Amino acid sequence: MLKKNVIKLIVLITTFISVNSFAQSDNTSTTKKIAAEERARYDAMHTMQVLSLASPNFQVTYYRCNWNIDPAVRYISGSVTSYFKMTASTNNIVYDFTTALTVDSVVYRKRQAGFSQLANQTIQINFPSAINRNKLDSVSIYYHGVPPTSGDFTGGFSQTTHNNTPVIWTLSEPYGASGWWPCRNGLDDKADSIDIYITYPSQYKASSNGVNVYTIANSNTLTSYYKHRYPIASYLVAIAVTNYTVFTNTANINGKSMPVIQYAYPEDLSSFQSATPVVLNALQVYSSFFGDYPFVKERYGQTEFSWGGGMEHQTNSYIVSTGTNLITHEMGHQWFGDKVTCGSWQDIWLNEGFAEWLGDMFYPEKTGDSATMKSNVRSDLSFVVSSSGGSVWVNDTTSSDRIFDTRLTYDKGAFLVRMLRFTLGDSLFFKGINQYLTDPKLAYGFARTADLQRNLQNASGQNLNYFFNQWFYGEGYPSFTVNWKDSSDHKLYFTISQTTSKSSSVKFFKAPLPIRLINAAGTQSADIVLQCIRNNQSFVVNEPGFAVDVVSVDPDKFIISKNNKTVKQASALAAITTAKISVSPNPVTNTANVMLENFKGKVLLQLFNNNASLVWSKQINAQQTTQVQIPFSSFINGTYNLLATNEKGIKQTTTIVK
């Protein structure tokens, strides 16, 4: 989901002072508005349950829902029939369901069954005898009432007006579904399919998941039948009823035609119509990168509602307006969130980080709007590093603020995706992401972060433990200091050091660091990428064909960092400051292991005692790093000086104690 209408005022004021907000498009401002308002909605939900309280002794395979809705009246009546499979032999099952709604009856095998609505917002259904494990069965719950508006159920079932016309819509993420229909309301069970029948006054139209197979007229009402034959999580089921104007386009999904059905308020029809090219283009772009739109046998659509943002209801995104960022974010969720759904609220970034990345960066990038993309990336990064800590991993799923934290879940989550793409390169990254989306354990089911890591590792052959430890579980960001100099041999010498904003969490961020070289006339090199694997690491690279005047660290912001510095050192000292000697152990008893770094070519090693007498020497052919052993067993105790001299007369000394 994406919250649109509230500006993150504090953030904009404190961290984007230098950004010309007025020049930013709706896309960028949308990106920056998400969380505060999403949080506002969830602030009311501090008591929300962490997990489904439905009993673990069954799994739902199918729902058939019959709902009566009049948008002028905040009220629902109807029934939900669920097919289920027992996972243990027992004579009762428990669904999530609010006690605010009245259950009229429960029907099991054409007879009334006993039930009780429990204070923990569940309903227990008592069967006349135990149902055996693995048995498929079904039960119907008939109910009516005014859906609740507080706690877990805030905003789940909303009634208001637009242009003086009443509208009812639902938005159930994360725990709202059982506030208006009985279901298993967790991140562990998708029904294989669902049928939805909505009956409503005949001046309106109804919008829901899947294919609108028919709409038939009753005496004063209409009944619309929506059929959906893909697995679906309960929080992605939605209905909306008002005086919609409906129009249909046709998308081409990798050669397959698919209807795209839009439900717009009449007063906003032209805006929805003019957004058509964006919708059709984004469907094609995403399908080309992540495989066919996941519900291609049915349709995609958008439905206007009056909540301040968007929600990725399966096959049918609900949106408040037609900004490109909102459209592409919610559409991206159809792959990341709907087809593969986060398996725990700890991993909500698998939904929101990816959708944010797609909405912010991917689509503008593919359509050539790189200015918008770069602007979005810079403001995302500014926000991510506006605080020194915090992990993308949700460390407290009882806190709604924490789950839907814009900085961490949306913006830093999106940056994790960006960094994974940069780290792995496009080929391996997209290979891994597509394996993730088609993994039989995950596709149309649920995934944890470890499942994403496993697929990226399998595709790339790289161990990504470090990446997820430092960026997903870990907190904070690095600050790089790049010491550099040129030299008469047309090489550039770098030593890169790093501090971290929260060293108690991550002491060092292993990362590929892009460096751009610029001359006095402004000519720029292609970025070179230095693989930073330890602190104070030295690198030598060839000059780009011009004398370098300025070194720019990660100019296009591929890696989360802040307060990076470059320090140019005098050229004549180049080799001396990058050439290093280290000795271990020191003091030494028998053998000193000498490590030479950045001495290229012939090097003369000379060891002098404290009378300045030469006691040992050796000439070596040094590589980038070279290890040499000096036998000390025959030397008397004392202090020795080791001198290393290369062909250019560059010297380094160090002291060794025996």
Structure token digits, residue 406: 């814009």
Say if CB 552 and CB 516 are below 8 A apart. Answer: yes
Q: Which residue has the tokens 């772009």?
A: 285
Concatenated DSSP letters for 389-415? ---SS-S-TT-HHHHT-IIIIIIIHHH
The stretch among 48-56, 82-90, 354-362, 474-482 that binds Zn ion (CB under 5 A) is: 354-362
Residue from 106, 168, 237, 355 binding Zn ion (CB under 5 A): 355
**Distance of closest approach, residue 21 Cβ to Zn ion, in angstroms:** 23
Nearer to Zn ion, 272 or 336 (CB): 336
- The span of 345-353, 456-464, 481-489, 583-591 binding Zn ion (CB under 5 A) equals 345-353
Name the CA radius of gyration of the chain, rounded.
Answer: 31
Shortest Cβ 38–Zn ion spacing (Å): 9
Q: How far is the CB of 119 from Zn ion (least distance, A)?
A: 32
Between residues 353 and 364, which has the closer beta carbon with respect to Zn ion?
Answer: 353
Compute CA 111 distance to the chain's CA centroid, rounded to the nearest angstrom: 47
> Least Å distance between CB 332 and Zn ion?
8
Q: Of 99-107, 282-290, 351-359, 420-428, which segment contacts Zn ion by CB under 5 A?
A: 351-359
Classify residue 534 as exposed, middle or buried by CB count within 10 Å of its CB (0-12, 13-18, 19+).
Answer: exposed
Q: Of 234 and 325, which has the nearer Cβ to Zn ion?
A: 325
Of 109-117, 215-223, 287-295, 349-357, the segment contacting Zn ion by CB under 5 A is 349-357
Residues 2-41 that bind Zn ion (CB under 5 A): 2
Residue count, binding to Zn ion (CB under 5 A): 4
Binding piece for Zn ion, criterion CB under 5 A, among 207-215, 271-279, 347-355, 442-450: 347-355
Q: Which is nearer to Zn ion, 1 or 420 (CB)?
A: 1
Burial of 380 (0-12, 13-18, 19+ CB in 10 A): buried
Measured from the CB atom, the residue of 148 and 309 that comes closer to Zn ion is 309
Strand partners, 486: 492
CA distance 287 to 272: 22
What residues are paired with 56 via a beta bridge? Answer: none
- Strands (DSSP E) found in 98-192: 102-108, 111-112, 114-118, 122-131, 136-145, 157-162, 165-170
Q: Which of residues 419-478 bind Zn ion (CB under 5 A)?
A: none
Minimum distance of Zn ion from residue 333's CB (angstroms) = 6
Segment 364-423, which members bind Zn ion (CB under 5 A)? none
In the complex, minimum distance from the CB of residue 112 to Zn ion, in angstroms, rounded to a whole number: 42
Of the candidates 75, 247, 98, the residue with the CA atom closest to the CA atom of residue 166: 75
Nearer residue to Zn ion within complex by CB, 338 or 352: 352
Q: Which is nearer to Zn ion, 1 or 168 (CB)?
A: 1
1 near Zn ion, judged by CB under 5 A: yes
| Nearest distance from C-beta of residue 355 to Zn ion, angstroms | 4
Identity at 579, one-letter amino acid code: A
Nearer to Zn ion, 404 or 480 (CB): 404
What is the torsional sign of CA 311, 316, 321, 325?
positive
Beta carbon of residue 423, minimum distance to Zn ion (angstroms, whole number)? 24
Nearer to Zn ion, 407 or 600 (CB): 407
Q: Which stretch binds Zn ion (CB under 5 A): 16-24, 348-356, 572-580, 639-647?
A: 348-356
How many Cα atoms within 13 Å fall on the side-chain side of residue 98? Answer: 27
Q: Hey, what are 409's tokens?
A: 């879940």
Which residues on neighbouring strands pair with residue 596, listed in sequence order?
A: 581, 626
| CB contact burial 545-581 (16+ within 10 A = b; e otherwise) | eeebeebbbbeebbbbbbebebeebeeeebbbbbbbb
Spatial separation of the C-alpha atoms in residues 624 and 643, rounded to whole Å: 18
CB 306 within 8 A of CB 169: yes
CB of 50 to Zn ion, least distance (A): 20
At its nearest, how many Å lie between Zn ion and the CB of residue 520? 46
With CB under 5 A as the contact rule, which of the stretches 152-160, 353-361, 510-518, 576-584 interacts with Zn ion? 353-361
Query: Minimum CB separation from Zn ion for residue 1, in Å?
Result: 4
Pick between residue 264 and residue 319 the one whose CB is nearest to Zn ion.
319
Q: How far is the CB of 494 from Zn ion (least distance, A)?
A: 40
Q: Residue 71 or residue 413: which is nearer to Zn ion going by CB?
A: 413
- Specify the residue, 447 or 579, whose C-beta has the smaller distance to Zn ion: 447
Q: What angle do CA 62, 66, 68 make, to 5 degrees?
A: 155
If DSSP states are collapsed to H, E and C, what string results for 8-43? Answer: CHHHHHHHCCCCCHHHCCHHHHHHCCHHHHHHHHHH
Give whole-number Cα distances, 610 to 135, 246, 298, 613, 655, in Å. 88, 93, 86, 7, 10
* Least distance between Zn ion and beta carbon 347 (Å): 14
Going by C-alpha positions, the residue among 336, 355, 328, 330 that lies closest to residue 442 is: 336
Least CB distance to Zn ion at residue 410 (A) = 8
278: enclosing H helix or E strand: helix 276-290
Chain-centroid distance, C-alpha 561: 18
Binding piece for Zn ion, criterion CB under 5 A, among 1-9, 202-210, 244-252, 602-610: 1-9
- Binding to Zn ion by CB under 5 A, coded x per residue (else -) over 295-334, reads ----------------------------------------
The separation between CA 342 and the C-alpha centre of its own chain, rounded to angstroms, equals 10
Q: Which is nearer to Zn ion, 285 or 607 (CB)?
A: 285
Q: Which of these ranges, 82-90, 344-352, 477-485, 508-516, lies near Zn ion under the rule CB under 5 A?
A: 344-352
C-beta of 54 vs 355, nearer to Zn ion? 355
Can you give the binding site for Zn ion, defined by CB under 5 A? 1-2, 352, 355
